[in-house]
Amino acid sequence: MGEAAQLARVEELLPRWQELPLYAGSAGNDFSSLPLIGKRELRENFPNNFLNAGQSLAVLLETQAVELEHTSGSSDERTPVLFRRGWWNEQEARVLRLNHLVAQVLDKYPDARRATLVPPVCNGLVCFSNYTSKTARTVGTTLFVNQARIPFLLTEAELARMAGEILEWAPVFLDLDPVHGAWFALYCEREGIRFPSVKFILGSYEFVSVVHQKILRRVFGVPVYNLYGSTETGHLLMEDERGEMKASPENVFYEIIEPDERGVGDLVVTTLTNEIMPLVRYRVGDLVERCERLDGTEYFVHCRARDALFRADGARVTTLEIDRCFAEVDGVAHYQLRQNEAGDCDIQFIPDRERLAPEKLQQVLERLADLLQLNNKISVSEVEKLPPLTSGKFRLTCRTEH
């Protein structure tokens, strides 16, 4: 579906969207003039901002016509989300098929099992903590394995329990938060554990770093693909077999607003398939770059907008640009680069199986200093763990206020 066809679809849906209370005040049929919305607008007066007159959320839930979930709350308070029962799986299936290798596997295994390792506060489907039984953590063809918010605190016994459950479940693929997945992979590497049934790995829930991808590929020996989206929008982009992030035009209309000189701007999406809670010109909060090529459009997910750093000349530096500095260097399992108000930086990192060689560390520091135009040296600390946000997500880059 090309952009012209997408715009025609948007124009077709616009009158229906404007029947909903949240969009009722949007006058006219000029889609591009509609105001941008964010999580605050989704929360205000929920669910009455999305339900038509006479609709009752209690009745919809009682009759199982809809599912009610909540966002992780990584950058704001948790936001309620409504969608028609079955919608999540339908739109996910469309996005996964943007990758031809994944599509071939799913054709061969139409009832493919998956094992999922994400922070247990992710949303209503995966809030499995306090040592919930395996039966309670099994939903259809999905086994939710992880029950801890901080992977670095997991005991050997708990990691062994997770590995044993995956071996018994025999999933066709793993669906991993990259930090949780990489830490679990290092345990499997130490113990010589492999999962013969697994054909590929999806990295989702937060930014997928090159350091995490390297570990997952090395340990499990299968392709690792980035699946990008959010609870409120559904799945937005999928990495294909060539390593390019591709869009799903049947699911979403994409806009990049306020781009910088490189074309990196704020991602704004309009969802096309969630009839219950459509998001019209919704600001996701992420910086994304769109590149038009002869064989199609490729996207680069740069980072949460609030996680961007700044050079001495005021230019923005994204998490993706920072992460690229680690592309050719081994020895890092996880890291966080922090920048203070003066522009000075410090980096903390957790070592991989083999520690980062001094010359390789110097190479990374020189790349970072050049990228950020730093005058002062970057302070470096090797640590055993790094704390996540309340949501369970980890920030690879951040600005500090002290």
Asked whether residue 107 is assigned to any structural domain, the reply reads no
Asked whether residue 350 is assigned to any structural domain, the reply reads yes
Asked whether residue 137 is assigned to any structural domain, the reply reads no
Is the separation of the CB atoms in 327 and 309 below 8 Å? no
For the segment 224-228, the average pLDDT, to the nearest whole number, is: 97
H/E segment holding residue 323 = helix 319-324
pLDDT at 122 over 70: no
pLDDT at 132 over 60: yes
129 vs 392: CA distance, rounded Å:
13
Asked whether residue 221 is assigned to any structural domain, the reply reads no
* Residue among 177, 140, 143, 189 at smallest CA distance from 162: 143
What is the DSSP secondary-structure string of 236-290? Answer: EEEE-TTS-EEE-TTTEEEEEES--TTSEEEEEEEESS-SSS--SSEEEEEEEEE
Q: How confident is the model at residue 390 (pLDDT cuts 50, 70, 90)?
A: confident
Asked whether residue 66 is assigned to any structural domain, the reply reads no
Neighbouring-strand partners of residue 332: 351
Give the alpha-carbon dihedral of 157, 162, 167, 172, to 10 degrees: -160
Which of 100-104, 133-137, 336-340, 346-350 bottoms out in mean pLDDT, i.e. has the lowest? 133-137
Q: How confident is the model at residue 182 (pLDDT cuts 50, 70, 90)?
A: very high
Average model confidence (pLDDT) across the chain: 92
Q: How confident is the model at residue 377 (pLDDT cuts 50, 70, 90)?
A: very high
Q: How confident is the model at residue 334 (pLDDT cuts 50, 70, 90)?
A: very high
Percent over 70 (pLDDT), the chain: 95
Which of 134-138, 197-201, 300-304, 378-382 bottoms out in mean pLDDT, i.e. has the lowest? 134-138
Is the separation of the CB atoms in 371 and 309 below 8 Å? no
pLDDT at 168 over 90: yes
In terms of residue numbers, what domain contains 386?
306-399
DSSP code of 356? P
293 vs 297: CA distance, rounded Å:
6
> Which pLDDT score, from 0 to 100, does residue 333 have?
97
> Which pLDDT score, from 0 to 100, does residue 26 have?
75
Residue with tokens 């907008």: 305
Say which CATH number the domain at 347 has: 3.30.300.30
Percent over 90 (pLDDT), the chain: 79
* CA distances in angstroms from 80 to 45, 59, 297, listed in the order given: 11, 17, 32
> Which pLDDT score, from 0 to 100, does residue 130 have?
52
* Residue among 399, 295, 294 at smallest CA distance from 339: 399
Higher pLDDT, 3 or 223: 223
Asked whether residue 316 is assigned to any structural domain, the reply reads yes
What's the token pair of residue 82?
A: 């409504």
Residue with tokens 């018994």: 168
Domain count, the chain: 1
What's the token pair of residue 177?
A: 């938060």
pLDDT at 401 over 80: no
pLDDT at 121 over 70: no
Contacts of 67 (CB under 8 A, 6+ apart): 82, 83, 84, 85, 87, 88, 124
For the segment 45-62, the average pLDDT, to the nearest whole number, is: 92
Asked whether residue 343 is assigned to any structural domain, the reply reads yes
Distance of CA 133 to the CA centre of its chain: 27
pLDDT at 307 over 90: yes
pLDDT at 317 over 70: yes
pLDDT at 192 over 80: yes
What's the token pair of residue 297?
A: 């459009």
pLDDT at 370 over 70: yes
Asked whether residue 241 is assigned to any structural domain, the reply reads no
pLDDT at 131 over 60: no
Residue with tokens 């949303």: 123
Higher pLDDT, 77 or 255: 255
For the segment 304-316, the average pLDDT, to the nearest whole number, is: 95
> Which pLDDT score, from 0 to 100, does residue 126 have?
45
What's the token pair of residue 119?
A: 């922070």
> Which pLDDT score, from 0 to 100, does residue 125 have?
45
62 vs 241: CA distance, rounded Å:
42
What's the token pair of residue 41?
A: 């607008």
